[in-house]
């Protein structure tokens, strides 16, 4: 059974159909990339899966259970974590606090317990602290210890992307959805993020759904690629199959002028 099933999903904003009858399956421990030109509906798919939008029709299932209609925090607690294309960090909190805040749904201490520092609150705080450090250590020197107490707004663009991934990891997800993780990174950093996504799958045995424009990244990480255009799945398959598919080339490059002339 696939971990994530998107079943004949449609979403319309008034008369605009952002997604039409989309079927996607993501299997356990798989890395699937979604590509497509701007406005193809990729981020909208993320927003529906994470509960920000409710679909007009169709179903979304996590491990066989429908998650349509749940609030985003409920879906996040069920194991779907995401990052945002336009970064949405908690700017005025420290790097470490950003990561720790994402453990809210997996901890239980009530305010009175926290105030009195009762055993459960103390144990959870220790665990959360260890988890935050473990997750941040995943990024090695890039988010090294001296940064942990800096506010998020002092970080560089690339580091903010890394921190968003770290924060998403702290929710202990089964499915990780990354929205353009390599945007704004230089070639060296792009190489690092490609390697990192592979490590996330191998070392944390995560299932990962990625939106990415950088074809080197897509080629480097994907088990499977899905191409979207105008909210419709154009094609699906291995990177080379999809990259050479005429409809994908057309969506990205426009139509061949000679073919147009003939038509």
Does residue number 144 form part of the binding site for another protein (CB under 8 A)?
Answer: yes
Binding mask 63-102 for another protein (x = CB under 8 A): --------xxx--xx---xx-x---xxxxxx---xx-xxx
Are 11 and 48 in contact by the 8 Å Cβ rule? The answer is: yes
Site string for another protein, 37-56 (x = CB under 8 A): -------------x-x----
Site string for another protein, 162-191 (x = CB under 8 A): -----xx-xx--------------------
Spatial separation of the C-alpha atoms in residues 175 and 82, rounded to whole Å: 8
The count of chain residues that interact with another protein, using the rule CB under 8 A, is: 52
Give residue for tokens 């988010």: 143
The reply to whether 159 sits near another protein by the rule CB under 8 A is: yes
Contacts of 255 (CB under 8 A, 6+ apart): none
Q: Which residue has the tokens 């909208």?
A: 44
Shortest Cβ distance from residue 104 to another protein (Å)? 5
CA distance linking residue 130 with residue 147, whole number of Å: 16
Q: Does 258 bind another protein (CB under 8 A)?
A: no
Listed residue (55, 48, 119) closest to 80, CA to CA: 48
The answer to whether 203 and 139 are in contact (CB under 8 A) is: no
User: Is position 125 an interface residue for another protein (rule: CB under 8 A)?
Assistant: yes
The reply on whether position 161 binds another protein by CB under 8 A is no
Q: Which residue has the tokens 């959360």?
A: 128
Binders in 230-249 for another protein, by CB under 8 A? none
User: In this structure, are residues 62 and 80 in contact, taking their beta carbons and an 8 Å threshold?
Assistant: yes
Distance CA 85, CA 257 (A): 33
Minimum gap (Å) between residue 15 Cβ and another protein: 25
Query: Does position 130 bind another protein by CB under 8 A?
Result: no
Partners of residue 42 on adjacent β-strands: none
- Show the CA angle centred on residue 3, arms to residues 7 and 29, nearest 5°: 135
User: What is the smallest separation between the CB atom of 225 and another protein, expressed in angstroms?
Assistant: 25
Residue 123 touching another protein (CB under 8 A): no
Which residues are 168's β-sheet partners?
A: none
Question: Among residues 22, 121, 210, 234, which is the contact residue for another protein, using CB under 8 A?
Answer: 121
- Residue 247 to residue 37: CA distance in whole angstroms: 12
Nearer residue to another protein within complex by CB, 33 or 103: 103
Q: What is the Rg, in whole angstroms, of the alpha carbon atoms belonging to the chain?
A: 20
Residue 153 contacts another protein per CB under 8 A: yes
CB of 193 or CB of 218, closer to another protein: 193
Q: Contact residues for another protein (CB under 8 A)?
A: 50, 52, 71-73, 76-77, 81-82, 84, 88-93, 97-98, 100-107, 109, 111, 114-117, 121, 124-125, 128, 141-142, 144, 147, 150-151, 153-156, 158-159, 167-168, 170-171
């Amino acid at each position: 059974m696939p971990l994530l099933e998107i079943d004949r999903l449609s979403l319309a904003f008034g008369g605009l159909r952002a997604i039409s009858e989309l079927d996607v399956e993501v299997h356990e421990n798989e890395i699937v990339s979604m590509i497509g030109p701007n406005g193809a509906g990729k981020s909208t798919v993320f927003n529906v899966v994470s509960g920000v939008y409710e679909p007009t029709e169709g179903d979304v299932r996590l491990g066989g259970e429908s998650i349509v209609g749940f609030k985003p925090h409920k879906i996040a607690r069920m194991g779907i974590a995401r990052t945002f294309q336009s970064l949405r960090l908690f700017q005025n909190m420290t790097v470490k606090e950003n990561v720790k805040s994402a453990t809210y749904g997996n901890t239980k201490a009530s305010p009175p317990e926290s105030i009195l520092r009762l055993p459960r609150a103390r144990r959870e705080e220790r665990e959360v602290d260890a988890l935050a450090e473990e997750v941040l250590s995943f990024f090695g020197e890039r988010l090294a210890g001296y940064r942990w107490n800096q506010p998020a707004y002092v970080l560089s663009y690339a580091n903010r992307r890394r921190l968003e991934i770290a924060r998403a990891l702290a929710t202990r997800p089964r499915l990780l959805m990354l929205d353009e993780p390599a945007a704004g990174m230089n070639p060296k950093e792009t190489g690092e993020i490609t390697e990192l996504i592979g490590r996330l799958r191998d070392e944390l045995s995560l299932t990962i759904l990625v939106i990415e424009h950088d074809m080197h990244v897509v080629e480097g990480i994907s088990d499977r690629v899905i191409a979207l255009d105008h909210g419709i799945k154009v094609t699906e398959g291995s990177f080379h199959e999809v990259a050479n598919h005429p409809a994908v080339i057309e969506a990205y490059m426009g139509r061949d002028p000679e073919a147009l002339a003939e038509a």
